[in-house]
Amino acid sequence: MLSKSFLYFGLVTLMALSALAQAPAGDIARARELSASGVAPNSAVARAENDAADLMDEIVLRRTLYGLITVESISEEETKQMLEAAERRVERRKARMAQVRHMVDEGLLARVALRNLEEEIREHETTLDLARSRAALLDGIAAMARLEIETAQIEETQPEMLPVSEKFVGAGRFSRDHLRKVVLAFEKEFGAPLPVSANGDTAFHRAMGFDHSGRVDVAVTPDQPEGVWLRRFLEAENIPYHAFRSFVPGAATGAHIHIGPPSLRRRVAD
């Protein structure tokens, strides 16, 4: 449960950001008035509108990326808004960089203006990377939740008791060539791409304490037609896998087929 102090901080922050968001609206109105009267150029209106849009994107990021919405409560639509806001803030700086570079080349601005913008771009690209990592974590949680529902539905129609998970050791190795072979065979069999939910290490697996490098998770339940076919194919090719039918504490949040050797536990120092 969130503490009262955290909720109070979140409320105060949102109130402050809302107040800030109202200021650019006034700036835009004044810029339009001055532009209409010929006192200011049309570019002043564009700059005011750009600044207002950038501030609104900052508000979105503070609400979604920086913790005012928890991982448990953020929606898919809010995740999409978070990514788009972070991407727009990077693109605005890059567009501004092109303008400033032209002015520097023309001798209208000092070259230090470029260095300042380069630093801004790096900062916003870092924010975009954080947004993408969080989106990947949320996608993983959502995918596993959907698979848990599918698994429950399958178990309702199958009265026989099946093990929660099954492991095939095979040759103990899994490479890119193996993955390519699996992908092509699956597409040929089902006329659809292999539903890979995680390829290599991800933010989701890091959050769970696993090193998933060189492993692949496939979003199919082991007993649906695609899952049965995939397990048989992996066994025929001597490729190791671990098939999960449901949630397994400390190992899987839902049904899926893990291809490759078991993931390694990360060291505490990591």
pLDDT digits (tens, 9 = 90+) for 91-146: 999 999 998 898 888 888 888 888 888 999 999 999 999 888 888 777 766 666 56
Q: Dihedrals φ, ψ of 220, to 5°?
A: -135, 145
Instruction: Report whether pLDDT(6) > 80.
Output: no
Instruction: Report whether pLDDT(39) > 90.
Output: no
pLDDT for the residue 90: 94
pLDDT for the residue 247: 55
pLDDT for the residue 73: 67
Kindly report each contact of residues 30-36 with a partner whose C-beta sits within 8 Å and lies 24 or more positions away, as own/partner: none
> Among the ranges 40-49, 131-140, 236-245, which has the highest mean pLDDT value?
236-245
**What average pLDDT does the chain have?**
76
Rounded mean pLDDT of 176-181? Answer: 93
Rounded mean pLDDT of 160-189? Answer: 87
pLDDT for the residue 62: 86
- All structural domains of the chain with their residue ranges: 4-144, 164-265
Instruction: Report whether pLDDT(234) > 50.
Output: yes
Smallest CA-to-CA distance from 256 within 204, 215, 219, 214 is with 219
pLDDT for the residue 69: 57
Rounded mean pLDDT of 22-35? Answer: 50
What confidence category does residue 53 fall into, taking pLDDT thresholds of 50, 70 and 90? confident
What confidence category does residue 14 fall into, taking pLDDT thresholds of 50, 70 and 90? very low
pLDDT digits (tens, 9 = 90+) for 256-266: 899 998 877 76
Taking a C-beta distance cutoff of 8 angstroms, is the pair 37, 59 a contact? no
Instruction: Report whether pLDDT(188) > 90.
Output: yes
Instruction: Report whether pLDDT(204) > 90.
Output: no
> Among the ranges 18-27, 30-39, 96-105, which has the highest mean pLDDT value?
96-105
pLDDT for the residue 156: 56
What confidence category does residue 40 fall into, taking pLDDT thresholds of 50, 70 and 90? very low
Instruction: Report whether pLDDT(178) > 90.
Output: yes
pLDDT for the residue 79: 87
> Among the ranges 3-7, 14-18, 78-82, 209-213, which has the highest mean pLDDT value?
78-82
What confidence category does residue 183 fall into, taking pLDDT thresholds of 50, 70 and 90? very high
Rounded mean pLDDT of 243-265? Answer: 74
